[in-house]
Amino acid sequence: MLLLGTLLLLAGPALAQEARAPKGPPARIDNVWGGFDHQPTQSEVESAERARGIAPSKQEQQRDARTVRQLYQELLGNTGAGGVGTTAG
């Protein structure tokens, strides 16, 4: 029991020093460091996907493009004359 108490007394200051906040701001927060945003560009992501062998296939790319075109056409149709989002008057 005496040994355990002695160890706790000796370890107390060391643990307290460890628990203190580090001096100065952190070097990096999320994808911002050095004051600059390091979000990857689309081309960087595509290159990394190809390098790792996980890039979408041509069929997947074509399907996604069709979906985007369809959604775009629906959006344009909904904002046209007499469509939803317009006011009569």
**Sign of the alpha-carbon dihedral angle for 56, 57, 61, 66:** negative
For residue 2, the model assigns a pLDDT of: 61
Return the bridge partners of 28, or none.
33
Which residue in this structure is represented by tokens 């689309």? 42
Backbone Cα Rg of the chain: 29
Q: Is the pLDDT of residue 48 over 70?
A: yes
More confident residue, 59 or 3: 59
Question: The tokens of 54 are what?
Answer: 């996980």
Question: The tokens of 74 are what?
Answer: 């629906």
Least confident of 3-17, 27-41, 61-75: 3-17
More confident residue, 7 or 73: 73
Q: Is the pLDDT of residue 87 over 70?
A: no
Where are the chain's structural domains?
54-79
- Residue 55 near residue 48 (C-beta atoms within 8 A): no
Q: What average pLDDT does the structure give for the chain?
A: 77
DSSP string, 36-77: EE-PPPHHHHHHHHHHHT-PPPHHHHHHHHHHHHHHHHHHHH
Most confident range (mean pLDDT) of 32-36, 67-71, 81-85 is 67-71
Kindly report whether the global pTM for this prediction surpasses the value 0.85: no
